[in-house]
Structure 1
């Protein structure tokens, strides 16, 4: 790794974390009061709106729910969301705000997209600018960007209440939690972020697509077709091509900034355009790139401080945040170091990749020149650590180890900052596991935040931790064994396996990013990945809610000399170790068949040649 590049990367990382840790405590405290208090002065402006929404929906804001009632509300709300998003895609050709006259989206793609956006995954098997109308982008996708993020935040508030309350039969009201989170947290932050992005050149309009004149005409060939649209063949049966020339380029338009803001803040991912955050209309400048990275981590980091505030011990939130940060920094440095080297294919051609006045150096394949390797490596680490599928580069073009880093971050359960809400409740599940392991070591009943961790909590912990590895590994095995699964692979061998493994890891952990070398917009992958996304979301949420209900009903155990502290360096090491241990034991065999084998292949070829 060259010193100038590392210095640049380190400076960017330090600045990023410094801003995050300065803003986080204030936002965390604000979120606690905005969601938990009905008389908070900073949210007084929205109380009339809140009351109207409750009245229209027939909701009693003062009536709390038990965990089962809360879980049913979550599931019903999200099932209705799936139906609504699916229906809007199927009838978009009949609806307004469709200047390009896009027709109905296919049934399997509509189903996959509906599940994807409702589960906060935002996996996209389609090209946004050639598939979705403006109305669908706003009413279906952007709305779900808000409410799916709000669902995750609501669930983590419930789990925190489980630790904070004692002898309580209720854990909150889902309709109140999701309304306040959307109205007082996500909406104001999205307006601010959208305005910042517009100032950098992100577009926001309802114009039809525009044709721009090219400086230089582009000549190319394409297969010739007859009047029926069938390929024309020569006497030997080969396709006939014809020379073409174009002097214009069509530029897609649309309400991009409004979707871009919540896609980042809600760790939703996806993109208005197929190129996602590598598109100049979504992410035009290095400053917009930094704003988007900061937006991805902002709420997940702040929720750690919210956690400390709610359990009345800020050290607990700092310990969880420190554990996340340790893993994140190590992974970010590993990705950066790997991308400073070129891929094996280019290395075998003896291509000089050293930095000079004419080139950035390192593996620039699939990356935007305006961002460079440092900002791209950091973005890739952030977006996969935080369960956000936004990408500003082609992860399929990363080196073997560079691609392993985002894959492994997802496979750790998206608990390193993770999604809004989902990252923290995932890490708290690991905290329960960590204190259980510690309890076994010293022969004591494990406790966390004054609550005894017993058999029921460990059963729910086991379900929440093991469901995603089950979905990833079984789903990958199915795709590899069946012909429709192998047919979508663009690259053969180890990299092709990595493409499938990445896709299932992304879907099951509700990330949404992709290697993009996999042709996944097929009935097979649309169905398989939709199932992985749905169960990867709600097979975790339901056990977490069950655990919250059990914890809230328990009495708080007083701290004694034998109580293990859960806010110091020892606990941080134990928590980080628990996360890495489960990830390593679960995924090492699969990773060995994919990115690890791909990394070792050049050495094997060299040894054979000798």
Structure 2
């Protein structure tokens, strides 16, 4: 067990070492500061702006920024849907795969445009190479860049003096050209070096030792894997995801996958402090998120290491069910905590095989949805709770709450409350409806409390735009494809709408001078308050559901 802790500590140390340099680079990207890479990216970006008719210096108010987000995402959804529905007659389909059914296609395009990457299909058997590249890999770039852009726009609203959140199309393009494409190119080259396939040739047949013919699927895997983790997208080229040896063949690729998932979400929190000219504020939020992450990571690792009473009675120490022997308990537990903290959804072990408490950890991280989180949206959800914490503390001392010198008033609290309350509603209500439908119950592999957990996990994953799953649920049905698709849309865009509206409201407010009565939000005390409020809100909304699922299963009720 001590060796496992050393492996985990080593990985997290590398993550921390990248936080400051990557955070500084993000600030330069979104503040349009000059860098040594301007000669490389500048001409490409200017050509793109010319083609799409965008002026680089033209700002947008919050409503204009929101319209650009929704319109661009809607157009991309239509194009992705067309590719999936017509893939049989489109090129780059060497295996002759048929078109994707309508409802499944809706679920898939919704999943990948919202950065969820929930897969109700098996990638190697359901998608052509063109579909993998245009309907899967392409939105992995744009959905991650959209999240980044919205987060930066919100920060501009916090520190701005007028309703100007920047230009969405400029933020989107710079995110892709200066962040995601260069990092993905480097990561993909390393993955190819480690043995991950990258080819447009079709599947090959091989004869096994037993003399049986086996069909081996391959394709442009490395390019998808790189942006899948750097963009905290999730999903996988193969059905077994990062447990497949073609996606994750070595211990080094496993390390790179984990670092890729944590690199940008952690750096963005630090960049937040730089963008608002208050590093302490950024570190205060980082500390709160980091504390929650360490608690969840410790919980899942201890749970999997100790196993369950039933396993102990059999003389089995630790729970290796559903895990790759080449990664072991520590790397499986770390991957589990990271993929749901960063809302990636990629898995190198089967979450359905975790112990009840171990399986509760990824569920709780997605229910809170602010433990670093995915590209941009994780920081936004964290700032939502900052706004609520400031408001609650202001009520306690009888003072108008303020954050970064801007007064938090009724409008902002109403919008924040809508965003916070939407999350449990779109999890718990669809879960209850699914459990009332006989045809939906037939999709559950395991009965009892674990079966409830499978359904609860699915809607939690969709609402948090995570995409991981308890594999025991057969989700490729019309009900689950449609309902989870709608949950993914609500989980993504309601919070974006609310946060941009808050940014627009705050951007026009006068800065209030700091006095002795001002609540400091850049202190360890506020970090503690933030953690407590996050946990209280999470407990009040989700504890009853967890009590009927993983907790009851753990207690053997």
Q: TM-score range by the shorter chain?
A: over 0.9
Decide whether the 8 Å contact of 1:13 with 1:378 is kept in 2.
yes
Distance 1:83-1:436 versus aligned 2 partners, 3 A rule: same
- Alpha-carbon shift at residue 344 of structure 1 (Å): 5.8
Decide whether the 8 Å contact of 1:341 with 1:353 is kept in 2.
no
How far, CA to CA, are the matches of 1:256 and 1:79 in structure 2? 27
Alignment match of 2:392 (pick from 423, 426, 437) = 437
What is the match of residue 270 of structure 2?
305
Q: Relative to structure 2, which stretch is displaced further, 35-44 or 531-540?
A: 35-44
After superposition, give the CA deviation of every residue in 1:448-485 in whole Å (9 maximum; x if it has no partner): 11111111110111011111100000010110011222
SS of the aligned residue for 1:594 comes to helix
SS of the aligned residue for 2:37 comes to helix
Q: How does 1:470-509 map to 2 (within 5 A)?
A: 470-509=425-464
Alignment match of 1:375 (pick from 321, 325, 331) = 331
How far, CA to CA, are the matches of 1:42 and 1:548 in structure 2? 30
What is the match of residue 69 of structure 1?
64
Pair 1:255 & 2:249 matched: no
How far, CA to CA, are the matches of 1:582 and 1:553 in structure 2? 30
Pair 1:351 & 2:306 matched: no
SS of the aligned residue for 2:213 comes to strand
How far, CA to CA, are the matches of 2:551 and 2:16 in structure 1? 34
- Alpha-carbon shift at residue 206 of structure 1 (Å): 1.3
After superposition, give the CA deviation of every residue in 1:335-382 in whole Å (9 maximum; x if it has no partner): 0011013356645xx42213xxxxxxx110000000001000010010
What is the match of residue 231 of structure 1?
none
How far, CA to CA, are the matches of 1:385 and 1:302 in structure 2? 14
SS of the aligned residue for 1:211 comes to strand
How far, CA to CA, are the matches of 1:481 and 1:451 in structure 2? 46
Alignment match of 2:180 (pick from 179, 186, 190) = 186
Decide whether the 8 Å contact of 2:8 with 2:330 is kept in 1.
no
Pair 1:388 & 2:383 matched: no
Q: How does 1:24-35 map to 2 (within 5 A)?
A: 24-35=19-30
How far, CA to CA, are the matches of 2:258 and 2:414 in structure 1? 36
Alignment match of 2:485 (pick from 530, 534, 549) = 530
Pair 1:215 & 2:209 matched: yes
Query: TM-score scaled by structure 1?
Result: 0.90
How far, CA to CA, are the matches of 2:326 and 2:458 in structure 1? 27
Decide whether the 8 Å contact of 2:150 with 2:496 is kept in 1.
yes
How far, CA to CA, are the matches of 1:378 and 1:491 in structure 2? 26
Decide whether the 8 Å contact of 2:157 with 2:164 is kept in 1.
no
How far, CA to CA, are the matches of 2:415 and 2:241 in structure 1? 36
Alignment match of 2:114 (pick from 119, 125, 128) = 119
Decide whether the 8 Å contact of 2:30 with 2:171 is kept in 1.
yes
Q: How does 1:100-139 map to 2 (within 5 A)?
A: 100-139=95-134
What is the match of residue 551 of structure 1?
506
SS of the aligned residue for 1:80 comes to helix
Decide whether the 8 Å contact of 1:67 with 1:171 is kept in 2.
yes
After superposition, give the CA deviation of every residue in 1:538-564 in whole Å (9 maximum; x if it has no partner): 010000000011111111112111111
After superposition, give the CA deviation of every residue in 1:509-551 in whole Å (9 maximum; x if it has no partner): 1000000100000111000000000011001000000001111
How far, CA to CA, are the matches of 1:159 and 1:53 in structure 2? 24
RMSD: 1.2
Alignment match of 2:144 (pick from 129, 149, 156) = 149
How far, CA to CA, are the matches of 1:28 and 1:42 in structure 2? 16
Alignment match of 2:554 (pick from 599, 602, 608) = 599
Distance 1:484-1:345 versus aligned 2 partners, 3 A rule: farther
Equivalent pairs, count: 557
How far, CA to CA, are the matches of 2:476 and 2:137 in structure 1? 21
What is the match of residue 158 of structure 2?
163
Query: TM-score scaled by structure 2?
Result: 0.98
Decide whether the 8 Å contact of 2:148 with 2:377 is kept in 1.
yes
Alignment match of 1:584 (pick from 519, 539, 543) = 539
How far, CA to CA, are the matches of 1:100 and 1:322 in structure 2? 49
SS of the aligned residue for 1:544 comes to helix
How far, CA to CA, are the matches of 2:163 and 2:349 in structure 1? 48
Pair 1:205 & 2:199 matched: yes
Structure ID, larger Rg: 1
What is the match of residue 364 of structure 2?
408
- Alpha-carbon shift at residue 35 of structure 1 (Å): 2.0
What is the match of residue 74 of structure 2?
79
After superposition, give the CA deviation of every residue in 1:191-240 in whole Å (9 maximum; x if it has no partner): 111112222211111121112221125xxxxxxxxxxxxxxxxxxxxxxx
After superposition, give the CA deviation of every residue in 1:148-191 in whole Å (9 maximum; x if it has no partner): 0000000100111111212x121111101101011101111111
SS of the aligned residue for 1:78 comes to helix
SS of the aligned residue for 2:551 comes to helix
Distance 1:343-1:254 versus aligned 2 partners, 3 A rule: farther
Decide whether the 8 Å contact of 1:153 with 1:422 is kept in 2.
yes
What is the match of residue 522 of structure 2?
567
Pair 1:319 & 2:284 matched: yes
Alignment match of 2:256 (pick from 272, 275, 291) = 291
Decide whether the 8 Å contact of 2:8 with 2:331 is kept in 1.
no
Decide whether the 8 Å contact of 1:205 with 1:253 is kept in 2.
yes
